[in-house]
């Protein structure tokens, strides 16, 4: 089996909402990437940035994965969980996920990552596999 399980389009995965919910409720840390562009309603790469920057106990650093970008990291407390859920929830009904790139972790183990708004990477880790099993999802059916 691969190191990661890839869902190439979360909006077309029937179990996406269940997968997301079990992971976000299990995890306790997050990081999220934003560009440092000025606030602009039409710029999808900064949706939610102001809200995430205003969370308590977050760290904000330049992100080395792309020029002019930052990574916001912090505890996945109830406030952060609500924000991630808010911006991800349109994807549950086939809409567009509003967050470009984020990861959620249990302690220091990456469980779930979203890239390019709609690609989900689930770590092929015992903890992730157990969560999938708990909700009746066979990881083999998620891979392309």
- Tens of pLDDT, residue by residue over 64-120, are 888 888 999 999 999 999 999 999 999 999 998 999 999 999 999 999 999 999 999
103/133 Cα distance (integer angstroms): 21
Whether 81 contacts 75, CB under 8 Å: no
Element spanning 122, H or E: strand 119-123
pLDDT at 3: 83
pLDDT, greater one: 104 or 144: 104
State the chain's maximal CA–CA distance in angstroms. Answer: 43
Whether 137 contacts 116, CB under 8 Å: no
The mean pLDDT value of the chain amounts to 90
- On the question of pLDDT at 132 being above 80, the answer is yes
């Amino acid at each position: 089996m691969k190191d990661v399980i890839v869902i190439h389009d979360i909006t077309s995965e029937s179990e996406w909402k269940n997968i997301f919910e079990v992971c976000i409720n299990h995890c306790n840390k997050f990081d999220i990437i934003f560009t440092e562009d000025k606030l602009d309603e039409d710029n999808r790469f900064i949706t939610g940035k102001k809200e995430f920057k205003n969370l308590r106990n977050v760290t904000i650093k330049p992100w080395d994965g792309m020029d002019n970008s930052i990574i916001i990291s912090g505890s996945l407390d109830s406030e952060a969980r609500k924000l991630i859920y808010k911006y991800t929830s349109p994807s549950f009904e086939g809409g567009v996920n509003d967050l470009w790139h984020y990861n959620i972790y249990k302690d220091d183990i990456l469980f779930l990552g979203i890239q390019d708004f709609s690609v989900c990477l689930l770590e092929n880790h015992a903890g992730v596999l157990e969560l999938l099993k708990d909700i009746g999802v066979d990881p083999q059916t998620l891979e392309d």
